[in-house]
Amino acid sequence: MSSFRERAAQISGVLHARVAETAAAVQELALDDVIPDPENPRRDFDEEELAGLAKSIGRRGVLQPITVRPANEDGKFVIRFGERRWRASKIAGKRTIRAIVSETASEADNLVEQVIENEQRADLRTSEMVEAVQRLLKEGWSKKAIAEELSCKPAEITQFAAAPDMAGYLRDLIDVWPRRALYDLHIASRKHSEAVQRFVASRREQGVTTAAVANFVRGLKDPQPPKAVVRPVETPVPKPVETASEARGDPDQAVSDPVPASGRGKGRAVAPAAPAVPIVTVTVGGRNGRLILPDTVSVLFEGADEPVTVSASEVRLFDAAT
């Protein structure tokens, strides 16, 4: 027996002992005066199990009384614990059932006790536990408090609480695939939605194990951001220009033209180069490159309210620390 079932059995025993101490006596109630609780977390009952229980009740009767609330305004007793025994008694053809009439502290407390009762006698389906946890959360219970009351790990309550936020194709498998596996796929789908959908579609018929899902999730890789493309900077080469004397064809005047020796060559002088666009070296992803500047840039001068558009060639970089 699991630790959860052991703890559930202990708590259920304490609850029933407390009920027995406060109840006046076990009563024999007409089956038609007893009705199921519409808020019972269990929604489905196994027909084969009910048939087997009905045979036992037919031979020995109901050994443990069911627990009901006091009669309502319609004279009906709403079942707190024991709906399976009540259903099986009807199948067995019984007309009455042994019952203890007891109040409950609150709807939330009653729900917790019903969850424990159902888990002790026959496991609730995952979808039924999801609904029960959602109702307790709406009642203001914290996940930690729910875990303590049900004697289970907080992580289990977190998994039940996450079910309503799962994608439809995962919720459809809530009572088919392991709860932890579905939770892991739900978390993974936030970054890898398409990969998770393909995985589920390929395994829908054969099913999965928690270990298989864990291996699949570990194999997923986070999408990488696109790398920056570094383009080489081409520095324009200024074209040589003719001097006035060369244009007139005067060889003597060409010698007297004030052209630096370094600029002379084959009778032609090179005009001063236009100011070059500043070269900015950058590092992207461990690779070095140059920043490509547009022809014009906006500059907000000190004391000005609006930026001014200037040619990039007029910009000079300086070290702010110097």
pLDDT digits (tens, 9 = 90+) for 197-236: 999 999 888 888 888 899 899 888 766 665 555 555 555 5
For 125-175, the pLDDT digits (tens) are: 888 889 888 888 988 889 988 888 776 788 889 999 999 999 999 999 998
At 26, the pLDDT band (50, 70, 90 cuts) reads confident
* Alpha helices in the chain, H assignment, sequence order: 3-22, 47-60, 83-91, 107-121, 126-138, 143-150, 154-162, 168-171, 179-188, 193-203, 210-219, 244-248, 251-256
The label of the residue with tokens 């609006």 reads: 306
Element (H, E) at 268: strand 268-269
Q: Which fold, 3-125? A: 3.90.1530
Q: Which of 212, 216, 183 is nearest to 198 (CA)?
A: 216
CA-to-CA dists, residue 292 to 214, 261, 314, angstroms: 46, 35, 15
Domain range list for the chain: 3-125
Please write the tens of the pLDDT for every residue from 45-65.
778 878 888 888 888 888 788
Question: Helices (DSSP H) in 30-106: which residue ranges?
Answer: 47-60, 83-91
C-beta atoms surrounding 322 within 10 Å: 4
Only one residue has tokens 């627990």, namely 67
Report the mean per-residue pLDDT for the chain: 74
pLDDT of residue 24: 47
* Element (DSSP H or E) covering residue 287: strand 287-291
Residue 189 has pLDDT above 90, yes or no: yes
Token pair 């002790």 in the structure block, residue: 120
